[in-house]
Amino acid sequence: MTIVMHWHDWLALFGQYLLLSLLSISGAITTVPDMQRYLVVQNGWLSGTQFTSSVAIAQAAPGPNVLFVGLMGWNVGLNAGGGIDGGIHAWLLGFLGLAITMVGILLPSTTLTYFATRWGHRNRARRDVRAFKQGMAPVVVGLLIATGWVLAAGNRAPDTPPWHLWLVAGAAALVVWRTRIHLLWLLGAGAALGAAGFV
Amino acid sequence: MQPAVSDSLPDRPRPSSTADLFLSFTVLALQGFGGVLAVVQREIVEKKRWLTPDEFIEDWAVAQVLPGPNVVNLAVMIGDRYFGLRGAAAAVAGLLSAPLVVVMVLAVLYTYFAGDPRVAGALRGMGAIAGGIIAATGFKLVPQLRKNPLGFPLCLGLVALVFGAIALARIPLGWVLLTVGAAACIQTWRKIAP
């Protein structure tokens, strides 16, 4: 797909990711529903497939999951440059998108972490520090489950029955919950089921 | 800035330099398929012994509650512990640089092969699995809530409320944190009155 990005669009994207960085309690992955709303539904800068494949590629690769954020920026840039065949122009915009989203998602949270851990270490017995840590615990758990749900729901192929998708995602959740199997085996099984057209 | 706790660590293994930090985090990041946390625990705590298990759990709890990618936050904390701001930067750079290159190569390859329905299907299948993996991470944490001062039933209610607001009603995250999150913190503050 091809889109037009003005300079104020890039600025808005950067601002959105700076904001999401501060909202990404328990990891950038919990802002996936919000990113999907912003990039796909509201602005149409990414197709739904580009969005979910960015998350899936980053999950399949080694390293922190947050790299999916950079891939989304990369894809927004490619779309703005006329796609992967748009030549050097598209690649440069891709790298611009990558830099904007990665710096945006990391700068506020790492700065906050740097100063907050120093402060928190000195004040770890304080009532408000403990209230924040413990009060956020159930919210974080609910967020993680919701994120898993939104991610799984975005992967439904139009020509397969929805229960196939929920069976696969549910089975994966059960296996991870109850066993210590290496996650790579699960991702491999998912890839095989997907390639075979089951989901 | 000076390292946070350098004076309290007399005779135990520690990274020899910021380059050592950078390389150590590069190596562990490249092993972390589907998440790096388990590898951090194995490499930094069990093999290198830069952190005791207790320190790891404490740091991890804070890294999880603060906004931002957990493992990146943990890298900031570990780097800062030994070399201050330079250490934090070296650890984060090590964690992200090499995996970013790998992901970019995969993404470009994917763009060329995205037309193949089997490639698109494989990605869809992995996406469904990834969703299940993340949900399971949440389920695994549910038993921890038994120790929560809010009480287990109220915690379960909050989990369900947040799930419904985000996954079903699709309410923006910020509003949920400002309302449900703030209410939970205030209620906890009242419960843990001395």
HEC letters along B53-119: HHHHHHHHHHHHHCECCHHHHHHHHHHHHHHHHHHHHHHHHHHHHHHHHHHHHHHHHHHHHCCCHHH
pLDDT tens for the 194 residues of chain B, in order: 555 554 455 567 889 899 999 999 998 888 776 567 666 777 788 788 898 877 776 677 678 778 888 889 999 999 998 899 999 999 999 999 999 999 999 888 887 887 788 888 887 888 888 888 878 878 877 887 888 899 999 999 999 999 999 999 988 877 888 899 999 999 999 999 88
> pLDDT-based confidence at A161, cuts 50/70/90?
confident
State the pLDDT at residue B124.
84
Q: Which residue of B has its CA nearest to A184?
A: B33
- Residue A43 near residue A70 (C-beta atoms within 8 A): no
**B155 chain-A contacts, CB cut-off 8 A:** 137-138, 141
The verdict on ipTM greater than 0.95 is: no
First-residue to last-residue Cα distance in chain A: 24
Which 17-56 residues of chain B touch chain A by CB within 8 A? 29-36
What's the confidence (pLDDT) of residue B1? 53
Residue A25 DSSP SS3: strand
Predicted local confidence at residue B7, as pLDDT? 47
Token digits for A143? Answer: 């967020």
Q: Does A151 touch chain B (CB under 8 A)?
A: yes
Q: Which of residues 62-81 of A touch B (CB under 8 A)?
A: 62-67, 70-71, 74-75, 78
Which are the contacts of A77, defined by CB distance < 8 A and separation ≥ 6? A5, A90, A92, A93, A94, A95, A96, A97, A98
Split at pLDDT 50, 70, 90, the class of A16 is very high
- The residues, any chain, with a CB within 8 Å of residue B177's CB and separated by 6 or more, are A23, A25, A139
Contact B72 A64 (CB under 8 A): yes
Average pLDDT for A3-24: 93
Task: Give the model's pLDDT for residue B6.
Answer: 47
Please tell me the distance from the alpha carbon of residue B52 to that of residue B11, in angstroms, as a whole number. Answer: 13
**Token pair recorded at residue B29:** 């990041």
What angle (nearest 5°) sits at the alpha carbon of residue A7, between those of residues A11 and B89? 45
pLDDT for residue A39 is more than 70: yes
- What pLDDT shows up at residue A27? 75
Q: What local confidence, expressed as pLDDT, does residue B95 receive?
A: 95
Question: Is the C-alpha dihedral spanning B47, B49, B51, B53 positive or negative?
Answer: positive
Distance from CA of B12 to the nearest CA of A (A): 21
Cα–Cα distance measured from residue B191 to residue B194, given in angstroms and rounded to the nearest whole number? 9
Give me B56's structure tokens.
């790891």
Instruction: Output the pTM of the full model.
Output: 0.73
Tell me the angle at which helices B182-191 and A127-153 cross, rounded to the nearest 10 degrees: 140
Question: Is B134–A34 a contact, with Cβ atoms under 8 angstroms apart?
Answer: no
Domain boundaries, chain A: 7-134
The contacts of residue B162 (CB under 8 Å, 6+ apart) are A138, A139, A141, A142, A143, A146, B176, B180
What residues pair up with A25 in beta bridges, in sequence order?
Answer: B67
Mean pLDDT of A78-88: 86
Q: Give A119 to chain B, closest Cα distance, Å.
A: 10
Cβ of A177 within 8 Å of Cβ of B70? The answer is no
- Nearest CA to CA, how far is A14 from chain B (Å)? 16
- Distance from A3 to chain B by nearest Cα, in Å? 17
What's the gap in Å between the CA of B57 and the closest CA on chain A? 13
Nearest CA among A95, A80, A20, A6 for reference residue A46: A80
Which residues in chain B are contacts of A78 at CB distance < 8 A? 111
From chain A residues 105-124, the ones with a CB under 8 A of any chain B CB are: 105-106, 108-110, 112-114, 116-118, 120-121
CA distance B72 to A140: 17
A82 at interface of B, judged by CB pairs closer than 8 A: no
- Mean pLDDT for chain A? 88
Please give the radius of gyration of chain B, using alpha carbons only, rounded to the nearest integer. Answer: 20
Phi, psi at A68, each rounded to 5°: -60, -30
Handedness of CA B74, B78, B83, B84 (dihedral sign): positive
